[in-house]
Structure 1
């Protein structure tokens, strides 16, 4: 009597025979028969490796009974092509789940063509697959990864791209669902959950490498989190098999995350940060559309060299210019000084401006640093400013207008600037700090002459991040001044 493995092999090979329009012989290594509890997904890979080298493109001819089946199948082909030199147990969890899920859908399609005995396919399939055991070495063949697969159906071409995007999820509104205890929303969805809500990605021709990195509100992210994320992104890009990176996170800190990551990002592939203004429980949740646009942007060759970007509302913004300009609007993210550099429409990126100029490249932190942010206000007497003395390694002053403070603050700022770097920014958040226009006590010219460092067109939050990154790398006052001067002149 045939073993369960042999029955599943026969069913899968029947499916592949239909896909490839030829008869496939089942694999016979003894190791296959011993894996009595292996799932159908295992056999799917084995069967694919038997004859797929010259016929993998024909898989694109398969038409399931629904768009979902077809879409999942194309995505699995992309995963398969990307992992052809990689042992199954070394694949990312997301790639494994894609193959498992697709096998399930294909087996359901095969059920309709060739009924199987109860329990052989479909039933508890995903549960069995999660208890996966590695594919035996005897069943693996080193295959050359194709650059593309193309097939023709009448007058229609279907091209399976080899462009790949890594997706890191950090939590945030985009990943929130209702907590039954508190009644409020909290980060709960995984990266796979987020991608499952974007079926259009399955037919985008873009392979996805998915990683759950954190599950936090944007407000709770730390420098340590972002340092670790930057290192993970660098490792992913240096591996050479991704064309861009997408990060999903809470919008509270998106503009700061994007700017900080850009300081540490020295590669050509774009890093795209996205999120959502409406959580998934609300009507018109914008997370899926933003994620879809972000993946398209990360995979687009026209954005190579653009550094870190922010994509929401089908607009692509540079990390240096983007601002969150509204607390609740889905159109909250804007670039007041210049507008977006690109827009996403009809599933492609349309450039509306040049690739943005890059800011300074700063190395990874080697020490702890504390940088304060002091916002000047009407009637400020400077008493709170004195509290910063001895409690920080650097200070950013968010001043009035083009860089002005009340005269009563001048003495305190002069004293601080003689001990630590003090950066002068504008609390407006749009436009530069001037250097040589006003001459009264507390003016920009007066303060710069007393040793403060101009922030140029950096917002107070960006100036703080740059100062923190420099001090955490061990930069002295002269190096800090030179970096800010260079950044302002770019």
Structure 2
């Protein structure tokens, strides 16, 4: 009611409506204050991609839409959080580098140290989401929620999955139920732990799975429902600190296959690799033509971690190779790409193989 109309009323009614307007103003402000404060850090990816037509779901261009447009496209975000956005990178995630990770990790830690930030959502390309999530799971120094999210369809596609994924991720990041759960990945109405999740499909919206250990929970109606916790240490309970790190040691992955030769391994060693993840067949088996080169590399100081290309199961220490004798490390249940991340961080702390093995069983 305008001031003019209020002025034409009796003094008692005028005072009543002015008081009512003041109360509504206070209540509206109080409601905004009770909503959590969530920062969205955008890095690019398919969620920010555009296609030539509404039916273009392959062959689109990733990392075109800025964070402000992503937020504006989902006005419902205001119902679950006070949202702000920041464009950290604008890249397709296959181009993510160690330097990007260090920059992102430091920015996340700086924001989470602020009292006016309750949680963080990171929009990210799906190709390396699981790797960025696991890296952050090891280096974030806060119990506040950090949620990675993306899309399998570009923003211009029919039934684009980005908007609902983003809405869900913001709801999770602002939820007290997500505090202390470690870094999470939100896709397709499901919640996954960073250590265990993998992209399992090239193109469908349900690409992210935790096949053996199971997802962390679901999100429904803007509320997360958690059904398990992770037994491995993460975030504030890790020994890794990137505050003063400007680079990570070079660690590369050698993929196992029939008729494998040591050519790739030798090239990585010559290029200065401090560590090698051997993504072996089966239970991390070592081909007869490659094993001598791995042994020689370790004797010269390169750290060797035996992993498996299979994607599920525990890599048995002293199983397909005598790791104690060879001074190798077993990857436990980490896939090769995540084993690479842990070895890089481990090498910033120690050159002791036994200590590195302990870290693989801890994180």
TM band (smaller chain): 0.7 to 0.9
Distance 1:318 1:186, change over 3 A: closer
CA contact (8 A) 2:122 2:148 kept: yes
The 8 Å contact of residues 179 and 186 in structure 1, kept in 2 or not, is answered as no
Residue among 454, 459, 471 paired with 2:330: 454
The TM-score normalised by the length of structure 1 is: 0.65
Residue 302 (structure 2) aligns with: 420
| 449-458 or 246-255: bigger deviation | 449-458
TM-aligned CA distance change 1:476 to 1:202, over 3 Å = closer
| Distance change in 2, residues 1:368/1:267 (3 Å) | closer
Q: Is the 8 A contact 1:454 1:485 kept in 2?
A: no
Q: Of residues 149, 152, 170 in structure 1, which corresponds to 2:43?
A: 170
Native 8 Å contact 1:420 1:477 kept in 2: no
Matches of residues 368-387 of structure 1 in structure 2 within 5 Å?
A: 368-387=248-267
CA contact (8 A) 2:98 2:248 kept: no
Displacement of 1:489 in angstroms is 4.9
Higher relative contact order (CA 8 A, sep 6+): 2
State which of 17, 23, 26 in structure 2 corresponds to 1:21: 17
Q: 2:307 aligned with 1:432, yes or no?
A: no
2:270 pairs with 1:390: yes
The equivalent of 1:334 in structure 2 is 209
**1:177 aligns to what SS in structure 2?**
coil
The equivalent residue for 2:94 is: 219
- Stretch deviating more after TM superposition (226-235 or 381-390): 381-390
Distance 1:280 1:334 in 2: 22
Higher alpha-carbon Rg: 1
The answer to which of 160-169 and 244-253 deviates more is: 160-169
Residue equivalent to 2:11: none
Cα drift, residue 256 of structure 1: 0.5
How do 1:271-310 and structure 2 match up within 5 A? 271-310=146-185
Instruction: Tell me how far apart the structure 2 counterparts of residues 237 and 373 of structure 1 sit (CA, whole Å).
Output: 32
- Give the match for residue 200 of structure 2: 325
1:483 Cα deviation from its structure 2 partner? 3.5
In structure 2, distance between residues paired with 1:353 and 1:23: 49
Provide the C-alpha distance between the structure 2 equivalents of 1:210 and 1:384, rounded to a whole number of angstroms: 42
Aligned with residue 223 of structure 2, among 330, 348, 356: 348
**Partners of 2:152 and 2:42 in 1: CA distance:** 16
Question: Could you list the per-position Cα deviations for residues 378-412 of structure 1 after superposition, in whole angstroms to 9, with x for gaps in the alignment?
Answer: 11132332223332111111011112111222211
1:323 deviation in Å? 0.4
SS at match of 1:21: helix
